[in-house]
Amino acid sequence: MARLRLGVLISGRGSNLAALIAASAHPHYPAEVGFVISNREGAPGLRIAGEAGIAHAVLGGRDASAFAREADLLLRRAGVNLVCLAGFMRILEAGFVEAWRDRMINIHPSLLPAFQGLNAQRQALEAGVRFSGCTVHFVRAEVDKGPIIAQGVVPVREEEDEEALSARILELEHRLYPLAVRLIAEGRVRIAGAKTSIAGASAPEFAFTNPSEERLVSATF
């Protein structure tokens, strides 16, 4: 069975790109990175793509229409089946999003629909939430909208700063993104309106509290 061919759009360091490349190195992983596009010259992620022998291109200095036109052409020529936004810091033209509808996904560092847009980790800390995390979702024209595929959760620690929380969420992203791609590649994800269903998947049968109930009980008694 042919592997799902991924086109990854980046703007910076490319750590989620590296996670997808590492996952695809396993012979039984059902997807592979086929092409990488950056909208920024000198993005560190381009070096990651080059070292892995993956074709890549830079489309910097273009308006939204020109970027969409050229990116679409490159992705189709590369035989891409699924577009993965991985730290891609540019609003995509609505026509491009529609052309790749249900074939383009994004990872965002919050538990959507909470804390959309930039500086999601800072937003979470300022709101005083007890849990944060990351979300993989299908892309729609509205920023950080679209059916959710998978989410990962981390507890927010007392006195934690934005840098520390971001680092822990990023580590979780590197596990969640390859998982979400696997689910799609295996044909297990179905979209129904604003939601998805995952064949053969189930929610964990446990819940967490923050602060921990166990610690509170032990402290009390």
Divide the 221 residues of the chain into consecutive groups of 10 and give the mean pLDDT of each group: 94 97 97 97 96 96 92 98 96 96 98 97 97 98 96 95 97 98 98 95 88 62 45
CATH number at residue 137: 3.40.50.170
Inter-helix orientation angle 120-127/162-185, to 10°: 120
Domain co-membership, 129 together with 70: no
Domain end among 100, 132, 148: 100
Domain co-membership, 91 together with 112: no
**β-pair partners for 38:** 10, 58
- Positions annotated as catalytic residues are 108
Domain co-membership, 73 together with 152: no
Domain end among 67, 100, 133: 100
Domain end among 85, 100, 115: 100
Residue 48 is assigned to a structural domain of this protein = yes
Tokens of 172: 């979780």
Instruction: Say what the pTM is.
Output: 0.94
Domain carrying residue 132: 107-201
What pLDDT score was predicted for residue 98?
97
Q: What's the rounded Cα separation, in Å, for the pair 133 and 124?
A: 10
Domain co-membership, 95 together with 121: no
Q: What's the rounded Cα separation, in Å, for the pair 124 and 143?
A: 18
What pLDDT score was predicted for residue 221?
45
Q: How many domains does the chain have?
A: 2
Q: Residues near 123 by Cβ (< 8 Å), separated by ≥ 6? A: 110, 115, 117
Closest CA to 152 of 138, 170, 133, 175: 133
Domain co-membership, 16 together with 56: yes
Q: How far is CA 61 from CA 2, 49, 57, 90, 156, in A?
A: 35, 21, 13, 12, 38
Residue 208 is assigned to a structural domain of this protein = no
Residue 216 is assigned to a structural domain of this protein = no
What pLDDT score was predicted for residue 216?
53
Domain co-membership, 182 together with 128: yes
